[in-house]
Amino acid sequence: MSGLREKRVGIFCCLVLLVVSFTSLYLRYVVSLVPAQSLPVASEVTSEENLSINLDNTLNFGARQEVETRTSWKAPIIWEGMFDPKLYDQKHIQKKSSVALTVFAVGRYLDAYLKTFLTSAERHFMLGLQVTYYVFTDQPDKVPHLELGPQRSLKVIHVEKHSRWQDISMMRMKTISDTIESEIRHRCNYVFCLDVDQEFKGRFGSEALGDSVAQIHAGFFKAPQQSLTYDRNPKSKAFMESGDYYYHAALFGGLCEHVKSLADHCFLGIMEDKQNDVEALWHDESHLNKYFWLHKPTRLLSPEYCWDQVSNKDNIQVIRLIWAPKHYDTLRTK
């Protein structure tokens, strides 16, 4: 009986092997009938998926428990550790995102800061994307010549030098608006406006791009609401009793239409104040804070993106842009 049982088991195993072999041969035959171009290609699927990704859905808002990573209106506050830089860059390169970087180098500021600003931007600002620098100056012939990287260009635009530094700061808003309308919007998707007395120190990449981008002021990001230096003069168009955050006018950006709207708002407020013999406490920065109070930014940059080298660095893991040493006594006109 045992010998018969062993024979039956052997026959059963042979039958199983025959079925498996036949099934494998049949599947190979079916696959051979399908044209190769009809089969899915992994790289094509990945590329399509990347284009459809909402990048901000990939942000890790819990990565930085010690700081605020999202506003009350759900706008992200970008900190190191929250984003995948390779994913952001890949998506924006695929979208062919392009960025204008505006900077004003007027009077002594050109010699003191412009070359450092531009050379450091070449090392760190929006690498891999098309970037156009717009340098506004009263001394076009003194703008340093730089060897720029691929997809990067520089345009120099002559502007008037005002007698007071406050007017230079405030009147840039009209120049920015006019240049967006006449040129930038035809060449770039995004525009960032920065002060020249700064230096890039680390990656300042595509994770910073958004519809309307505001910079949290490094000197006030831990400060209580009552100490924020809004303009509290009711006679000024920049008047605010309270706000959300205190934003720094040394850096703002976004899509062209949003930056133009901000610049127009600030310029109109400045001009109305002038007519009423009023000047906002912190000039264009006061008007910028009023704009972002009325029109909430869709993206906030943490102080990593504009650091002052003086404030407490407890929560700062990376410094991407720093304020250069200030020499107001020799650089500014009264």
Q: In terms of Cα–Cα distance, which of 254, 317, 321, 244 is closest to 79?
A: 317
- 242: tokens are 């309270």
Residue with tokens 């000197």: 219
Is 195 known as a binding-site position? yes
Is 273 known as a binding-site position? no
Is 34 known as a binding-site position? no
- Vertex 259, ends 270 and 177: CA angle to 5°? 60
Strand 212-216 to 152-158 pairing:
unpaired
Is 109 known as a binding-site position? yes
Is 305 known as a binding-site position? no
Is 257 known as a binding-site position? no
d(CA 237, CA 245): 18
Is 141 known as a binding-site position? no
- 28: tokens are 């190979």
CB–CB of 296/73 below 8 Å?
A: yes
Is 314 known as a binding-site position? no
Is 285 known as a binding-site position? yes
Q: Is 285 assigned a catalytic role?
A: yes
CB–CB of 194/100 below 8 Å?
A: no
**Count of H-run helices and E-run strands, the chain:** 10, 10
Is 68 known as a binding-site position? no
Element (H, E) at 185: helix 185-187
Q: In terms of Cα–Cα distance, which of 134, 208, 141 is closest to 178?
A: 134
CB–CB of 102/194 below 8 Å?
A: yes
Query: Which of the residues 207, 279, 285, 304 is marked catalytic?
Result: 285
Quick one: 66 exposed, middle or buried, by C-beta within 10 A (0-12, 13-18, 19+)? exposed
- Cα 26–chain centre separation: 55
d(CA 230, CA 240): 6
Query: Which residues line the annotated binding site for UDP-N-acetyl-alpha-D-galactosamine?
Result: 104-106, 109, 195-197
Q: What positions carry a catalytic annotation? A: 285
Annotated binding-site residues read 104-106, 109, 195-197, 217, 229, 285, 308
